[in-house]
Structure 1
Amino acid sequence: MASRSVHLVGSYPADDTRQAMTTTANERGRYLRSLPDGDVGDRRNWIVHIVEAFRRHPDLELARHGDWSGYDNRPLFKVKPGRRLSSAAIDTGHAAAAKASYLDFREIRTQNALDQLTFQVGIPGDLDLGLFTFGTVGAFTKRTLFRDALAAEMGEIATWSQRDVLFQLEIPVELIMVATAPTPLRGLAANFLAASAVRLVAAAPPGSRFGIHLCLGDLNHRALKRLTSTAPLVALTRALVRSWPRGRDLEYVHLPLAADDQVPATQSTFYRDMGRLASLPPDLRIIAGLVHEDQGLEEQIRILRIVESYVGRSVDVATACGMGRRGTDAARQALQRAAALAES
């Protein structure tokens, strides 16, 4: 393998999961440590399909109409009068989707002699699912329902995968909240949000393997927030590592250093706060989400060097978010760029 690994965040433009895994494994498999199934079809837009399914849920009704044309134009739900929503009545579909792809994953891994590969399954944060379903207030009052439902999904996956699956905790809402908090309150916000986010991790079976995907949003290939420095990323990352529960392995943290509609910043001062990541455990992989096909290779190499100079070690590389909202050509270009950066 190259000195750096390439990380695939999740979604990839393909007709089905087998095609997505075959394409990425064939083209860049030797750079990968884990392989997602591509989150194809309805899953390409992260949790949109889960929230949309609540239109048919017997215990819920629309509180606000929305068509997902923007972050402020999405549907919100409420519990019907006289009904009670339970975690057992929430089916996010993660276990079923993972099981449907896992046999293909094992076959593709064997065909390509990629013994190092682990099957990667993205799991949204419970606060994130709560906010996109019920709005800000409901996100906090009903997040336990989603936590229990997601924990059940992970438990089901663990029954047939053992340690051949790595769960990727995906928490854009927490990052946006930390980035939005006033600077004097940023640390407090990061500590509170991290401590509550990892309760979902603690609810997973002992011995579960995890990575973290911090995100700035990618609805309709547009970020919700643009950072002016890496300080929010650093604050939340450090808080998550401090709060991490025992008995669940944290293998990497993926940091978005671009937005999929915005190339990485070129000023070295933007990355200065990443020096505070130098004290993280040496076996915790830091993944720089800076891969962007619309920025020149030499510029991207220069930015990668800046990042590594601050954190004091080599980092792995990835796009800022999944590639499912890209076109096929753009996704292939991003894969090529990631490999070039891994080799640089």
Structure 2
Amino acid sequence: MSRTTADAPTPADDQAHRPLPVHLVGSLPRPLCDDPATALRWFVEHRGEAELTALPSDRDPRWIIDWLTRHLSSVPSLEQVRGGESRGYDDMPYYRVRPGQRLSEQEVGLRRVEQAEAAFAALDRMCPGGPGEPPRVQVGIPNALDLALFAFGSIDAAREWMPTVQAAVRHEVAELDARWGDRLQLQLETPAVLVAYHLAPPPAWAMLTADLTRQVSGVLAAAPRARWVLHLCYGDLERVPVFTPTDLRSAVRFLNALTDLLAEQGAPMPTVHLPVVCGRQAPPTDPAFYEELRHLRRGVGIIPGVVVEDYPEETREALRLAEEALGAPVSGVAAACGYGRRTEEAAAANLALAARLAREWSMR
């Protein structure tokens, strides 16, 4: 078990002499995700010879739906404004705070500490000591902006309650960091960032960028010991994106600004898992799609989310194009999202393709 995870997803400039790791975004299909030991063992058994950036502990591919429909519906200070079956982005329930009530950060918590505790206990049973460092456990951290938008259904309402949700996320992140900091990989997950750029006219991007980077850096600062991966996303409910990108302009705009802000704060820029494929589509193989990566700040580690098991040649070409546009080695290889909405067979095929490409890239 000691070589299950790579030493670190390193910035692109330091990656040349390391084996290229596979990054696992998170979830598995049921019933594999119902038990942490089963999930961890599945990842280990299906990785082949590839190293992993960490072992994911995500257990429920529908966590956001359960959080919205079960958890928030039981919060006394909230009342449901609209119901929904969560079958699409326009079919999600949302809430408001009852008149005269105040929402507390404890009421919107995600219980990620309990999830991590179960994962570490399972991992310690699997590898109870011995030579080498134990693998890191990855805990997915939904961005506070995304949670506020899901919970309250509009930008204005989300803005009102963002301080409370931000405090809740920071509290859980800080506790995770305090208990397991150097054994953790925290993955900050945020479709809302790229969706916000998609919805905003370009003249508004400067103000939007300032707001987004300030909010994201606030979450990152709550866990200074843990290793962070920033997972951008286009949404994947029912394997359907919120929108389909035509280039990476908004992502690079945000990442450059975040890099600059973190540098001012004396904080490191996390490695970025950057999806380039949506839903069930093949990865884009038009070089123009990747052109904006030429303007990314040097030293930002990028793990392209390109692996689609049904399109191995397109996946290989997309990885090559991403690296060519970066002008530096990629920091890993990955699918665009977790495996929770795939079948077990498709998940295994995706991981096998990712492992094959990681080995191929490491031998060049």
Unpaired segments ≥5 residues, structure 2: 1-5, 7-17
- The yes-or-no answer on 1:314 pairing with 2:315 is no
Over 3 Å counting, the alpha-carbon distance change for 1:162 and 1:51 in structure 2 is same
Mapped to 2, the partners of 1:116 and 1:252 lie a distance apart of 21
For the residue of structure 1 that corresponds to 2:277, the secondary structure is: coil
**Equivalence for 1:238:** 256
Match of 2:245 in 1: 227
Q: In structure 2, what residue type is equivalent to 1:328? A: E
Structure 2: how far apart are the matches of 1:275 and 1:324?
32
1:198 Cα deviation after fit: 1.6
| Partners of 1:10 and 1:323 within 8 A in 2 | yes
1:130, CA displacement in angstroms?
Answer: 0.3
Assess if the C-alpha contact under 8 Å between 2:307 and 2:350 holds in 1. Answer: yes
Matched, 1:164 2:183: yes
1:139 alignment counterpart: 158
3-state SS of 1:193 partner: helix
Is the 1:71–1:219 Cα contact (8 Å) retained in structure 2? Answer: yes
Number of corresponding residues = 336
Deviation readout 1:30-72 (Å, 9 max, x if unpaired): 42021111x22xx312422222211111111101111101101
Residue 248 of structure 1 and its aligned partner are, at CA, apart by 5.0
Question: Contact 1:109–1:115 at 8 Å: present in 2 too?
Answer: no
Deviation at 1:93, TM superposition (A): 1.1
User: For the structure 1 residues 111 and 179, does the alpha-carbon distance in structure 2 shift closer, same or farther, using more than 3 Å as the test?
Assistant: farther
Contact 2:283 2:314 in 1 (8 A): no
Instruction: Find the counterpart in structure 1 of residue 75 from structure 2.
Output: 57
Structure 1 residues 206, 336: closer, same or farther in 2, change over 3 A? closer
1:66 aligns with 2:84: yes
1:171 and 1:160 mapped to 2: Cα distance?
24
Q: CA RMSD in A?
A: 2.2
Kindly provide the amino acid, as one letter, of the partner of residue 33 in structure 1: T
- Alpha carbons 1:274, 1:307 under 8 Å: kept: yes
Q: Structure 2: which amino acid aligns with 1:322? A: G
Residue 148 of structure 2 corresponds to: 130
* Distance in 1 separating the partners of 2:238 and 2:125: 33
Paired-residue identity, % = 33
Question: What is the TM-score when the length of structure 1 is the normalising length?
Answer: 0.91
2:181 and 2:223 in contact (8 A); partners too = no
**Residues 30 and 114 in structure 1, CA contact (< 8 A), matched pair in contact too:** no
Greater length-normalized contact order (CA 8 Å, ≥ 6 residues apart): 2
Work out whether 1:36 is the aligned partner of 2:56: yes
Code of the aligned partner of 1:34: A
Other-structure match for 2:19: 3
Matched residues in 2 for 1:322 and 1:114: separation? 28
What's 2:230 paired with? 212
- Equivalent residues of 1:34, 1:119 under 8 A apart: yes
Structure 2 residue aligned with 1:336: 352
For residue 98 of structure 1, the aligned residue among 116, 129, 151 is 116
Describe the shift of the 1:58–1:263 C-alpha distance in structure 2 as closer, same or farther (beyond 3 A): same
- Asked if the contact 1:178–1:236 (Cα under 8 Å) also holds between the matched residues in 2, the reply is no
Map of 2:41 onto structure 1: 22
Partner amino acid, structure 1, of 2:66: H
Deviation at 1:155, TM superposition (A): 2.2
Determine the C-alpha separation between the residues in 2 that align with 1:229 and 1:221: 20
Cα deviation per residue 1:241-268 (whole Å; 9 max; x = unaligned)? Answer: 2222746544410101101322211211
Q: 1:12 aligns with which of 11, 22, 28?
A: 28
Deviation readout 1:156-212 (Å, 9 max, x if unpaired): 22232131112111111111111333334434433331222222222x144333110
SS of 2:291's partner is: helix
| Alignment partner of 1:47 is 2:67 | no
Taking the aligned partners of 1:74 and 1:113, their CA distance within structure 2 comes to: 48
Q: 2:169 aligns with which of 147, 150, 157?
A: 150
Change (3 A) 1:343 1:68: same
Q: In terms of mean alpha carbon deviation, does 254-263 or 99-108 score higher? A: 99-108
Name the aligned partner's letter for residue 63 of structure 1.
Answer: V
